[in-house]
Amino acid sequence: MYQFNYHKPASLNDAISIFQGSDDPMYLSGGMTLIPTMKQRLAAPTDLIDLSGIAELTGISVSDTVVSVGGFTPHNVVAGSREIAAKLPVLCDLVGLIGDNQVRNRGTMGGSVANSDPAADYPAAVVGLGATVVTQEREIAGDDFFKDLFETALNPGEIITRIDFPVAKRAGYSKFPNPASRYAVVGVLVAEFSDGVRVGVTGAGPCAFRATGIENVLNADLEPGAIDSVEVPDAGFNSDLHASAEYRAHLVKVMAKRATEALLA
């Protein structure tokens, strides 16, 4: 690592003030991506602002229509929440599949979503459930949040304070995990709402996206077999040593069918 200044503010305003007064600052949430990146000298912030001391960023609030999760809430807290399990069990299921227990103890929802890792699980929930990302400045629709590989709609200095997930009538999530990292080679969340079906995909492309072709057929016939008629083009999909773009396109359909089966179950 390069030398940097470490800060641990006690309030959101303090964190923002430090960020605005630093040359090249970065916020630290769970550190699951940032710390390894700094160790490899691929990132060299002048100031590291640790958000773990800000109590207002952590917590869960559940109503009949919305599940709100604070940005610094660790994965395991979400996965083990009885309140969330009672209203939006798919979110607990999805989060329980992230990495391993150590990762889930340290990693946070806000850090995962803000990073826009192409193989992260949470983005599929943000897009598939039509969530709203809330920062200290504004609210951002989940459909507008992910822009590209490690690129989001966040402005410099914006902090995800919470994410509001609408409660679906029923939903299911399925992913094909990398056997070592447990990252999603492809993950698909299918959710049914009163106004139709939404399908969020992670792992396949540079960032999470909605599979509108699959949504259309499921809105006409909410059965796994209906997905067989959909053609998923692989143009622009990720292709690496784990899976080719063509194979990822195939996995989108397979995981969508499994997610639909989970929804119907």
Question: Identity (one letter) of the amino acid at 71?
Answer: G
pTM of the entire structure? 0.95
> Which are the contacts of 258, defined by CB distance < 8 A and separation ≥ 6?
172, 174, 188, 224
pLDDT tens digit string along 77-87? 999 999 999 99
pLDDT tens digits, 43-89: 999 999 999 999 999 999 999 999 999 999 999 999 999 999 999 99
Q: What is the β-pairing status of strands 151-152 and 66-70? A: unpaired
- In this chain, the answer to whether the domains covering 1-57 and 170-264 adopt an identical fold is no
Tell which residue, 208, 206, 186, has the closest CA to residue 252: 186
Mean pLDDT across the chain = 96
Structural fold of domain 1-57? 3.30.43
The tally of CA atoms less than 13 A away on the side-chain side of residue 31 is: 13
In the chain, what are the domain boundaries?
Answer: 1-57, 170-264
Class of domain 170-264: alpha beta
Tens digit of pLDDT for each residue in 118-146? 999 999 999 999 999 999 999 999 999 99
Q: Tokens for 109? A: 């929802």
Which tokens belong to 27? 């916020």
Q: Give the model confidence (pLDDT) of 202-257 as tens digits.
A: 999 999 999 999 999 999 999 999 999 999 999 999 999 999 999 999 999 999 99
DSSP readout, 120-189?
-SHHHHHHHTT-EEEESS-EEEHHHHEEETTEESPPTT--EEEEEEEPPSEEEEEEEE-TTT--EEEEEE
